Amino acid sequence: MTTRPRGAARSARLPVTQEIVSSNPIGDAGQGSTVRNLNTLLRHEVFSSGNGTTDNELVNYVAGRIADAAEIRRSRQCPYQFLAAYLNAEEGMPQNIKAALHQAAEIACGNVPELPGPVLIGLDTSGSMGAAVTGNRGRGATSKMRCVDVAALFAAAILRRNPDSVVVPFDTAAYEAKVDPQDTILSLAERLAKYGGGGTDCSLPLVQANGKYAKRRFAGVVLVSDNESWVYAGRTFGYGQQDATGVMLEWQKFVGNQQRLNPSCPSPSQGEAGWGPKLVCIDLQAYTTTQAPEREDILNIGGFSDAVFSVVASFLSGDAGRFVAEVVEL
């Protein structure tokens, strides 16, 4: 698609339009990509025809680039970047562009890898998850995207591609997530982000897995949190036997139960590669503490990007070569 010619009155803004809108593909992860520079376009009044009116033709052109299905699939972008752009859109961003971000996120869900089996996703919705995912970087540099927004988007995207999976929002209680499959991915993420708000007990999703969902087979468990949790069994800063975290004690129960459900499932203690229940702990704030130590069946990830989806899928699949390749790329 090409842009229409600009009149002399628009000449001052033309270089910005050409550089950001025409020259950079949406999937480009560089500085000038269309999605990452929507606020720049707005500030330079590229969406304005003058006299307070909107240049609908250009707005529709940019919206079309954002929701270009072929380009999104080619670039293998996942929904994260579109939610980031949506939440960080400045006041005055045209509604058509916001709608395009919703549509793009839906398309990008097709790029989220299918997992080797259903997983239980523990979604931390405690009060501390309301902090900006980037941390406080001062005025103008702090993202409007909260940790809970990222966690909810991850859960929603995985659930969309792996519908037999289970999402358990939690703080110091576990909640039953009511998911409408007709929701858009961004609406679903917004709904999931509304649960909770209290303290944090990261063992609760595993407690649910070992209780309410004890008869279901899972490929593993993914905990998405800021890791501010040392609450166990109702005790603040409480630990289990031999100073074990509640997560580790419940994880051992989970592995044992999954082995009973599937006797062919290898145990980490057997030193076997391949399929087996695995635990992934995604720490969005990358603190120095962790709920579970790194080992054959446990992976800790600090921070978040679109690449996390592929890293989780390869680790759960037990594909060592693919996993190493994904980590190097990340």
Query: Can you give the pLDDT at residue 314?
Result: 92
- Rounded Cα distance, 310 and 80, in Å: 13
> Which pLDDT score is estimated for 149?
87
Residue by residue, pLDDT tens for the chain (330 residues) are 434 444 434 434 444 454 445 555 554 443 236 888 899 889 888 888 877 788 898 899 889 989 999 988 888 888 888 988 988 899 999 999 999 998 998 899 889 999 999 999 999 998 888 888 876 555 555 678 888 888 888 988 898 889 899 999 999 899 998 877 667 777 877 888 888 888 888 899 999 999 999 999 999 999 998 866 554 544 444 444 444 678 888 999 999 999 899 877 655 544 444 457 999 999 888 665 677 778 889 999 988 888 899 999 999 988 655 555 554 455
Q: What is the pLDDT of residue 18?
A: 44
Helices marked H in 1-79: 14-16, 38-43, 56-66, 69-75
Q: Which amino acid, 148?
A: V
Predicted pLDDT at 211? 96
Show the tokens assigned to 111. 């790029």
Q: 17 and 46 in contact (C-beta within 8 Å)?
A: yes
pLDDT (0 to 100) of residue 183: 76
Task: Identify the pLDDT of residue 1.
Answer: 40
Q: What does the chain come to in residues?
A: 330
Q: Can you tell me the distance from the alpha carbon of 283 to that of 222, in angstroms, rounded to the nearest whole number?
A: 11
Residue with tokens 């031999």: 242
Which residue type occupies 144? Answer: K
**Torsion angle in degrees (nearest 10) through CA of 62, 63, 69, 70:** -10
The per-residue pLDDT for 116 is 92
Alpha helices in the chain (DSSP H): 14-16, 38-43, 56-66, 69-75, 80-88, 95-108, 147-161, 185-192, 204-210, 246-261, 307-317, 320-329
Cα–Cα distance for residue pair 125/189, rounded to 1 Å: 12
Which pLDDT does position 2 carry in this prediction? 38
CA 107 to chain centre: 15
Specify whether the CB–CB gap between 128 and 226 falls below 8 A. Answer: yes
What is the per-residue pLDDT for 299? 92
Q: How far apart are CA 106 and CA 180, in angstroms?
A: 15
Residue with tokens 């130590």: 293
In sequence order, what are the residues at sequence separation of 6 or more whose Cβ sits closer than 8 angstroms to the Cβ of residue 135?
A: 142, 285
